[in-house]
Amino acid sequence: MDLTIQHFIALAPLLITSLTVVVVMLGIAWRRSHSQSFLLTVAGLNLALLSIYPALKVAPLAVTPLLQIDNFSCLYMGIILVSTLACVTLAHAYLGEGKAGYPGNREELYLLILMAAAGGMVLVASQHLASLFIGLELLSVPVYGLVAYAFFNKRSLEAGIKYMVLSAAGSAFLLFGMALLYADAGSLGFSEIGKALAATGLPSPIASLGLGMMLVGLGFKLSLVPFHLWTPDVYEGAPAPVAAFLATASKVAVFGVLVRLFQISPAATSGVLTDVMSVIAVASIIIGNLLALTQNNLKRLLGYSSIAHFGYMMIAMVASKGMAVEAISVYLVTYVLTSLGAFGVITLMSSPYSGRDADALFEYRGLFWRRPYLTAVLTVMMLSLAGIPLTTGFIGKFYIIATGVEAHLWWLTGSLVVGSAIGVFYYLRVMVTLYLQDSKIQRHDAPFNWAQRAGGVVLLGITLLAFFLGVYPQPLLTLVQHAGL
């Protein structure tokens, strides 16, 4: 095919991110400098973010048979880049400067995050099973290294190995499912698979099995029940900024491609697969929330909570029509904001690196009396995750409920209401802990330097945005409506 200037403009966000990887790598080879690697990474990510605007001017455009740049992929690329930018800023504070902080090489963390972000961007622009697999592996492989980055800590090493082994099993299911789909449809393109499935009315047994196995593979990455067992251990073991990346950019990319696959191939969601997805949604909501109730570790609590939140989004996936895509996009934006804020507080409480993260709930007892601004941020994030009105989380849940009601999915909508009620209890438990007073508790305050300030500015920006979009969601709704498939 002939590549024109329009193709390069459309691919600019991905090309700039990939070029940033090379520049950071060459920078490390030339001179090891934590600040230099951080500044190069931030500059590259900002340029990639700005390049989305000209890419929108030429969209929609099928750059190759593998990649489709349209409003939908541009929105999801934007979410991934913003998440990565926030995680990188938090990571800079977490790793520390000089002898204080992380004792190993710090610079490679930025390299791995950039490569994972590039993989996520390939994933959300995919319209072909080949690019789906390439993007997924480019996203996953650097994350194995990121999760085990604090290898001095045995929990981090254990989390990295667990995630790698289970992720490899998920990829095997995904590949087997792709092979079965190809055997049935004779093509790897999403639209061609959709046409082949639509021609027969309901998917054939081979196609249903192939789609089911693909759902298993992607379910592992999204930690949906019953493929969720790795989640709490990996969240707990991973360094806090990496856990933030895993909870936001990584999952957004996988859910984005799942939405595109099922929207381009609507016949894929008919028949027995709809029932399977409904069961997964209800199980994820109920089990995720019930297991979160018993947690005394904030990272594990957020891990189980994320299982429930992706269960909520599966309701819109089952609905598939009407405003389902809009609801998913709104919910993903609200979930990303609140997860970044919550993990950001854990990061700044643990900065600079000191062997283990401040993730035990008792370490947050009476935090209000020591670090009031961090308490304010975490309070808003807990309220938003619970879906309390005037926060962005309420808007997300409202949209999912509206989608469920529109599609007459009463059981699924009921499970969302029950799950949210359970969720309020453990989110409020965290909030109450922040305001208790206990003179005997060990202080875990971190020194406050400019890296901390940069992380603090990011957190305050996230908090204000969570409030602003909760009170006046119109800018977000307009953005999402333009990004429909």
Range picked from 192-201, 272-281, 332-341, 443-452 for highest mean pLDDT: 332-341
The pLDDT value recorded for residue 229 is: 85
pTM score, two decimals? Answer: 0.92
The pLDDT value recorded for residue 446 is: 45
The pLDDT of 235-243, averaged and rounded, is 90
**Residue 330 half-sphere exposure toward CB, CA atoms < 13 A:** 30
By the 8 A CB rule, do 132 and 123 touch?
Answer: yes
Q: Prior bond to 60 cis, omega within 30?
A: yes
The pLDDT of 170-199, averaged and rounded, is 85
Q: Please check the confidence at residue 227 and state whether its pLDDT lies above 80.
A: yes
Count of structural domains within the chain: 1
Q: Please check the confidence at residue 401 and state whether its pLDDT lies above 60.
A: yes
The pLDDT value recorded for residue 444 is: 47
Q: Please check the confidence at residue 100 and state whether its pLDDT lies above 80.
A: no
Least confident of 180-184, 305-309, 350-354, 473-477: 350-354
Residues 326-374: pLDDT tens digits? 888 899 999 999 999 999 999 888 877 777 888 888 888 888 888 888 8
86: Cβ–Cβ under 8 A, 6 or more apart, which residues? 244, 248, 340, 344, 458, 462
The pLDDT of 446-454, averaged and rounded, is 58
The pLDDT of 121-147, averaged and rounded, is 91
Residues 403-449: pLDDT tens digits? 888 888 888 889 999 999 999 999 999 999 888 876 555 554 444 55
User: How far is Cα 108 from Cα 24, in angstroms, rounded to an integer?
Assistant: 9
User: How far is Cα 146 from Cα 112, in angstroms, rounded to an integer?
Assistant: 7
Residues 471-480: pLDDT tens digits? 888 888 888 8
Q: Please check the confidence at residue 269 and state whether its pLDDT lies above 70.
A: no
Q: Which amino acid is at 295?
A: Q
The pLDDT of 313-332, averaged and rounded, is 86
The pLDDT value recorded for residue 452 is: 67
Whose CA is closest to 36, among 95, 84, 107, 88? 107
Query: Domain range spanning residue 118?
Result: 5-482
